[in-house]
Amino acid sequence: MELTRSHVFVFGQVQGVGYRFSTHKIADQLGLNGWVRNLPDGRVEAVFEGEEQAIEAMLKWCKTGPRMAIVQHLEVIPEPPEHLQGFQIKR
């Protein structure tokens, strides 16, 4: 299995709509490792590590997010994997 990593910034109305919780749930379902957190400027930041196909599915979901979210833009930065374990919501 080839491990890949994407560092993601989500722009739009993505705080206070369950975005982090939903991201955690989907990442678990896809078998991804990493983390997600809110940023002070209103964006959501996340890191996903796993198989490329699973990350692509995660990024596709991130473009829409949970029902109440309004995603305007995704910034995706490929990075070398750090072999993270599990997926967490950072405060």
Please say if 43 is a catalytic residue.
no
Which run of H or of E encompasses 52?
Answer: helix 52-62
Contact 37, 1 (CB under 8 A): no
Q: Choose the catalytic residue: 5, 33, 37, 38.
A: 38
The amino acid sitting at 88 is Q
CA distance 78 to 3: 12
Please say if 38 is a catalytic residue.
yes
Active site positions, annotated: 20, 38
